[in-house]
Structure 1
Amino acid sequence: MNTLAQSFRDLNQIKLAAMIATAVVMIGFFAFISLRVTSPSMAPLYASVSLEDGAKIVAELDKENVKYELRSGGTQILVPADMVDRLRLTMAQNSLPSAGSGVGYEIFDKSNTLGTPNFVLNINQVRALEGELARTIQGFDTVDAARVHLVIPTHELFSRQTSDPTASVAVKLRGAGGLSKNEVAAIRQLVATAVPGLKPQRVTVVDSHGTLLAKGQDKNSDPNAVSEESDAYRVEYETRLSGTVERLLEQSVGASKVKAEVHADIDFDRIVTNKEKYDPEGQVARSTQSVSDNEKSSDTSNNQTVSAANNIPGGSGAGGAAGGSQANHVRTEETTNFEINKEVTNSIKESGNVKKLSVAVLVDGTYTTDKDGKQVYAPRTPEELKKLEELVKTAVGFDAARGDTVSIVNMQFVNTNLETFTAGPFDWIKQDLNSIIQTMVLGGVAILSILLVIRPLVARAIESVEMASKEDALEQAALAAPSITARLMDQSKLAPIEEPEEEEDMINIDRIQGKLKSSSYTKINSMVDKHPTETAQILKAWLSGM
């Protein structure tokens, strides 16, 4: 121990400062590693919350003295993994996080409706409906947050003006994806069915980037809406036919060896026809009316002179014999009503009828491998192209009467040799790449420090201790050298080594002037082998005495 302390005293100030600095760095490094290893594993309490809810959740965690981490700008909160379930129950007890933006029907639970004006009740009803719709839309997998604005007109007394309700929906999407057409249509239908009198066409949908996903306009009031819908229908119809042709031909020519394009001329005019047709030959007597009139009349007038005698009862007036005329008139009338055969036709020709189809198909040829291992292109035969044309005509509903055309061309495709990306077995570490790199760098620094700094210093200290121990042993050997030498000489006299009586050869030994006998050299080697420790001490004593 004293020797080690003396070794440190012998170091100069620079080496001593380097050793102290290295020791401090290594202690700090291992302390950091131990903290990282012993620290609890963090797990997401909530992966994505609003800043308002995040502030409330953090306040609750501070009250509970729970360690937490904030990521993604404060929207992701991490807590120890073994406390996630308990903390979620605690937050749910405090209604955190909120179910959605705005308030719902709970607004009526906290207010006293008695004495509340009708205007306030209507506003609260609209707010509650907006909040409930926003919460429902926020439940979609692709929607992170949503807000709904409703415009519901009020019907005033004695007012003839009526307006339709409208709605606007703003959504914040989760991730880099977008809403599909079906999802947008579902949102519009959801809002429309929740509001009386609201049509899906009058619901506007936008995202957080300001992209218009659905335009809320009625077809009757906006002609452009009809045009946009017609173009979308035409593109969808052409895409569907193209996909049908490609999938059909790929079964024969191979995958990625056919490309089809379809152009459709579609009639979007809606025609309503009302037609009435009369058939004069097909008349039928519906009713007959007969009227018969028989009239009789008579005239009994004479030429007697009118006097007073004619007016006296019992008197007879002078005059001639009585005379007159009679008439008989008969009239018959018959009326027949005929029903004429009439044909009434009401026909409605809806829009979307295809007037003409033009189909273009590009087909790759065949490939064979020659004796050198190279691929050789060969075009397809006309008979094969004819069969493919028949398949295409059947698939698209070819009609020569309306002028449909189908063109199939065989040309060699360009081989782009695009490399497809395949997920590697270690792609899962990308999310923790920064932590892994940090740990590896720190580990590398620690290893280099141990190999380049600590190891040389420790080796030098150990070497100093060993040298000091050897010096002490040499001093002790020097003091005991005379007695050891005498003992060795006595042993050599008591037990002489038998040597064969042979002619002794003379050998040369480096650094020694003169010659020695071979038997003497052998005798010395034997003594050294038997007493190596004493020999070493004698040599050290000799060297120290020189």
Structure 2
Amino acid sequence: MPEQLQKILNNVREFFTTLDTTKKLILGGVALTVIVAIGILSTISLQKNRVVLFKDLTSKDFAEVTKKLDSLGYQYGSSDTSVITVDPEQRQEIVTKLAQENLIPAGVQGWELFNVDKFTETQFDKDIKKYRALKGAIEQSLMTLRSVDKAYVNIAFPEDELFSSNSSPVKASVILHYIPGVESLSRKEVKGIVNLVSRAVPKLKPENVSVADADGKIISDFEEDLEKERLELRIVQEKLRIGEEQRIQRLIDMRNTLRWLLGGEERVDITRFEYNLNWDKESYKDNSVSPVVAIPDNPNTPYSELKLVDGYSLKVSSKETKEDFKGRGFTPDGPAGTEPNIPPGYKDTDYQKSEYSKSENINNYEFNRRVSEVQKQPWKIEKINLSVVIDGMWEKKEREDGTGYDRKYVPVSEDELRQIRKNLEAAVGIDKARGDQISVITVPKDRSAQFAAEDEELRKQKAIRQMIIASLVIVLLLIISILVYRAIK
């Protein structure tokens, strides 16, 4: 420790020891007060300057806004129940969040007043400056959204009219450019933008605010979206209704078939019935070529009578040409009395023997052609999966002691299963080419409870019969005793 500092500390210590207790307490209190004051001043100096978020608020608006700020986790301050201050860097973001929740208090403007007025400014200049400031404040607020890269706002202020009934409403349009990776905004975010713009502009109603994306698509037309959703919901409900009706109808046909074949449904369990419909619209052009049929097939016979014409086609046109030339050709000699203009030697060869022949035979055949434009129904069966479990028959015989039945299980034969499967395929409309599946098997059903109840009922009936027989014997003995007694007497 330096010698000079050591001397100072020694002097302070000697001075402090010369003081009495009262002076020591007063000096300690002063030092403590100075330390606390320094701490408070340092804390205040470290705090950021806050800006006014809203002022002149009602008690209701103050409570709603502060409650929302607490839930969003923002720091804020308030001098009373009418003024709220926030961090200046968070002000635009907070305003946007509150606008999404429709919590902007009525009368709060989304732009700031001008701090400097020019001496030569006219009222028109002030109006233009006011419009630009309002437009810029709204655009700046919109660009604080995480999904928005740029925002452009245009506001249409109508000219003042003498009568309010003749004045046009204030209108605004907003164009948003999303950040890369964002394709659309949620309905809640769009409503927040509409509320923000409508509250920031005087006399602007939310229904007069149009919001569009960079492609020019209106995203604030909630009525159109709502009607589209209602239409889609009705379509889905109609599809479900038709599908359920078709499923129930085939289920009824299937149960009727099983009831007729097995005498009831007590032995049948439908473990699975999957009925899928395909709602894809299909339209195509069919251009088919087929051979010409001379004799069609009779579907009522087990053999085929189909017979095609020779060559599988019909002759539709023919052309036959035949030419034949023999002998001397004609060579003109010119006018009478003149020598022909023929080279020497040609006349001798001209009259030699010559032949010419031509033969042409053309036949045109045509197959059966069919050109059709097909548009299928709005729905079709995509796939059917059916699984049926059938219980066999139980043969029962009463035991000699009468305590129950001896039972023997008789499964359903393969021929019966094949017949049931065939009838179910026809009733439900199974198409194996479509990929439909059907399973019909026989499995013993657990009837332990039923058998126990039947055995118990048999024992009860036997006990009742024994009681009736015993009662009849007693009555008969009583009658005989009475008759004997009277005869003896």
> One fold, TM greater than 0.5?
no
- What TM-score bracket applies, with the shorter chain setting the length? under 0.3
TM (norm. structure 1) is 0.24
- Larger Rg belongs to: 1
